[in-house]
A = this chain, B = another copy of it.
Amino acid sequence: MVLNRRNFLKTGLSGAAVASIGGAALMGCAPGSKKEAEGKAGGCCQAGEGGCQHSAAALNISFQEGTAPGENLNEKFDYMEKLGVVGFEPGGRGLAGRVDEIKQALDGRTIKVSAICAGFDGFILSTDEAVRKRCMDSMKEIIAAAGELGSVGVIIVPAFNGQKPALPHTQETRDFLCEQFTEMGNFAAEHGTTVIFEPLNRGEAFYLRQVADAASICRDINNPGVRCMGDFWHMTAEETCDMGAFLSAGEYLQHVHVASRRRRSMPGEDGEADCYVAGFKGLKMLGYNKYVSFECGCQGDRNVVLPAAVELLRKQWEKA
């Protein structure tokens, strides 16, 4: 049996003699190997020893494919560059066949591929092995393409509410999930990318709703190819504290989605509700410099509300 944190917890918490597995790994903030090596047992870098950040936080805005106006990628990218948007998040379906197209459209631009949004078949927590296999196989295809594109990772949801029959919500299922994602994570790491757990609100996915939960799973798996994200829309329903959620993600935080907070539209379209400052403060504390990516609809005139949304995020980032 591979001795990893997960196995350790299973044996350790039953009252048996506790083996030393690397102190800092067990407590405090999400440890990276750096913290472990420094023995920062229990201490958040940002909390214990004076706010150490591994990198300077930066707001790197990304759009999904439907966000910007334009008839094709080049038109969209022209628009995005004018707004200073630096990330592009395509869907994963059929990605392998689009690698050249995307590379060509990005050539010479300041925009890079950020995350890949799902697109896999089946789901990993199906009771049906064939359905799980479809998920694993389709994910690997997308992951390989993501690696070619230099993407930060492929977003995945373990089980949507409508996907049944699913394995029951138990420790055994969680352990199984960890095994499956170890395999996926190894593959992703080999391809220079990651897979990214996305917690969703209960209306879409009961199985995984909170960033802290996703982070805990990442820590148990302890694989450089397995990460997590937070989506402000889902966090609106499921998190009591955006800052707490992102801090819990810690070094596992690989991506962020943003939308307005009542109608999942352009940031700002829901007025006073669209405050991301607490979350941004958490991102700054982490030194987060990956992407904040628009996954949202649009109520008003896109050519008006989209620049306004970008401006709002920048203002709130400064304020945070």
A residues neighboring B (CB under 8 Å):
9-10, 12-14, 18, 20, 23, 26-30, 39-44, 46-48, 168-171, 201-204, 206, 209-213, 215-216, 218-219, 235-250, 252, 261-263, 272-279, 281-282, 319-320
Expressed in whole angstroms, the Cα–Cα distance for A262 and B239 within the complex equals 29
| A13-B272 contact in complex given A26-B237, A47-B277, A277-B42, C-beta closer than 8 Å | no
B249 in contact with A240 (CB, 8 Å): yes
Within 8 Å CB of A168, what residues of B?
168-169
Expressed in whole angstroms, the Cα–Cα distance for A299 and B136 within the complex equals 47
Nearest-neighbour CB distance to chain B for A154, whole angstroms, equals 22
| A241-B236 contact in complex given A41-B261, A206-B171, A272-B41, C-beta closer than 8 Å | no
Instruction: Report the nearest B residue to A276, measured CB to CB.
Output: B42
B243 in contact with A216 (CB, 8 Å): no
A250 in contact with B241 (CB, 8 Å): yes
Instruction: Report the nearest B residue to A20, measured CB to CB.
Output: B262
Nearest-neighbour CB distance to chain B for A149, whole angstroms, equals 29
A278 in contact with B28 (CB, 8 Å): yes
Within 8 Å CB of A275, what residues of B?
27-28, 40-43, 48
Number of copies: 2
Most chain B beta carbons < 10 A, residue from A23, A30, A218: A23
Nearest-neighbour CB distance to chain B for A75, whole angstroms, equals 30
Within 8 Å CB of A274, what residues of B?
41-42
Expressed in whole angstroms, the Cα–Cα distance for A29 and B236 within the complex equals 10
Most chain B beta carbons < 10 A, residue from A209, A216, A262, A275: A275
| A248-B244 contact in complex given A42-B273, A47-B277, C-beta closer than 8 Å | yes
Within 8 Å CB of A170, what residues of B?
169, 206
Instruction: Report the nearest B residue to A26, measured CB to CB.
Output: B236
A242 in contact with B273 (CB, 8 Å): no
| A26-B261 contact in complex given A170-B169, A240-B250, A241-B250, C-beta closer than 8 Å | yes
Nearest-neighbour CB distance to chain B for A26, whole angstroms, equals 5
B23 in contact with A273 (CB, 8 Å): yes
Q: Which 4 A-B pairs have the closest CB atoms?
A: A13-B203, A42-B275, A244-B247, A244-B248
Expressed in whole angstroms, the Cα–Cα distance for A150 and B205 within the complex equals 41
B261 in contact with A42 (CB, 8 Å): yes
Within 8 Å CB of A14, what residues of B?
203
Expressed in whole angstroms, the Cα–Cα distance for A237 and B218 within the complex equals 13
Most chain B beta carbons < 10 A, residue from A10, A202, A276: A202
Nearest-neighbour CB distance to chain B for A33, whole angstroms, equals 15
B250 in contact with A320 (CB, 8 Å): no
Expressed in whole angstroms, the Cα–Cα distance for A247 and B248 within the complex equals 10
Expressed in whole angstroms, the Cα–Cα distance for A273 and B25 within the complex equals 10
Expressed in whole angstroms, the Cα–Cα distance for A210 and B215 within the complex equals 11
Within 8 Å CB of A210, what residues of B?
210, 212-213, 216
Within 8 Å CB of A43, what residues of B?
275, 277-278
B247 in contact with A241 (CB, 8 Å): yes
Within 8 Å CB of A169, what residues of B?
168-170
